[in-house]
């Protein structure tokens, strides 16, 4: 098995890069892409663990692009150049995320929940601060009992403390990923909330014209039938087909995708064998 969409403590996952790779090895997963939000900080540690455990670590990242309907996330897979313009671009995205986090803290304060940014950042342990860290703070403060309640009441789109991100355009995300030598893949397309297969096909075709390389057709939360349809559209358009668990440690099963389907080795073929410059 392989897994082309995972997160670590460098963004909003629960496993350190070393723990993620060790778990992959224990499950018989021979290749895993580390795709933290707006950062490649966990790639070096993961590759070191991969060398010890016999797991091929694919350098990756997950970016969020501006989109009027649902959530448009883009994976960068098979990155080969992690410095220069690519690193500078990620730093700008992290600064944008930090500004959004501070706005959300202000919204919470207006709701009677006070916390400073240092307290929130402590949950990320030096990684990228994201909404799951807000959720943990709310749980620890006993304002909610679970991650689900935290998102439903405060953090999800339209909830009491939610603030939209100053997200870059899709073209900018694709340009940034290509500057790092990677392939740009639309992540979990069901979150696009496009209302028909025709609209989905038209969107993928339009985005291919902007440089999109592929689609994460197989993803957690979608049915196998839906995933096969995404894959068929992607292949008909000449796009790569990817598969991932979106593993965070609290949702998704490593190496498994829609309805617990094993992620077969062939999905990783376009992204293997890349030399990474760190």
pLDDT reading at 16 higher than 90:
yes
- How far is the C-alpha of 259 from the C-alpha of 2, rounded, in Å? 16
Q: Residue 6: which of 33, 37, 42, 41 has the closest Cα?
A: 33
**What are the tens digits of pLDDT across the range 240-264?**
999 999 999 866 699 999 999 999 9
Q: What value does the mean pLDDT take over residues 194-200?
A: 96
Which residues have a Cβ under 8 Å from the Cβ of 237 and sit 6 or more positions away?
Answer: 201, 204, 205, 208
Q: Per-residue pLDDT averaged across 14-32, rounded? A: 96
The pLDDT, as a whole number, for residue 251 is: 60
Least confident of 169-178, 207-216, 267-276: 267-276
Q: Is the dihedral of CA 115, 116, 121, 123 positive or negative?
A: negative
pLDDT digits (tens, 9 = 90+) for 51-83: 999 999 999 999 999 998 888 999 999 999 999
pTM for this model (two decimals):
0.88
Q: Mean pLDDT score of the chain, rounded to an integer? A: 93
């Amino acid at each position: 098995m392989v897994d082309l969409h995972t997160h670590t403590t460098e963004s909003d996952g629960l496993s350190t890069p070393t723990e993620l790779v060790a778990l992959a090895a224990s499950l018989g997963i021979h290749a895993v892409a580390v795709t933290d939000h707006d950062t490649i900080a966990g790639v070096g540690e993961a590759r070191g663990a991969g060398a010890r455990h016999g797991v091929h670590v694919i350098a990756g990242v997950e970016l969020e692009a501006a989109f009027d309907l649902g959530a448009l996330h883009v994976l960068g897979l098979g990155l080969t150049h992690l410095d220069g313009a690519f690193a500078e671009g990620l730093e700008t995205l992290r600064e944008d995320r930090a500004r959004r986090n501070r706005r959300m803290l202000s919204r919470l304060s207006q709701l009677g929940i006070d916390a400073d940014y240092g307290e929130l950042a402590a949950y990320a342990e030096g990684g990228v601060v994201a909404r799951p860290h807000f959720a943990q703070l709310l749980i620890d403060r006993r304002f909610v009992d679970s991650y689900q309640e935290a998102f439903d009441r405060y953090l999800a789109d339209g909830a009491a403390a939610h603030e939209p991100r100053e997200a870059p355009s899709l073209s900018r995300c694709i340009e940034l990923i290509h500057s790092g030598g990677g392939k740009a893949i639309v992540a979990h397309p069901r979150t696009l909330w496009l209302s028909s297969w025709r609209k989905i096909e038209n969107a993928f075709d339009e985005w291919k014209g902007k440089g999109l390389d592929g689609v994460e057709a197989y993803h957690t939360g979608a049915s196998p039938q839906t995933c096969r349809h995404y894959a068929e559209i992607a292949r008909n358009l000449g796009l790569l087909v990817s598969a991932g668990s979106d593993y965070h440690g609290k949702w998704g099963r490593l190496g498994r995708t829609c309805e617990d389907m094993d992620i077969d080795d062939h999905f990783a073929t376009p992204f293997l064998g890349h030399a990474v410059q760190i």
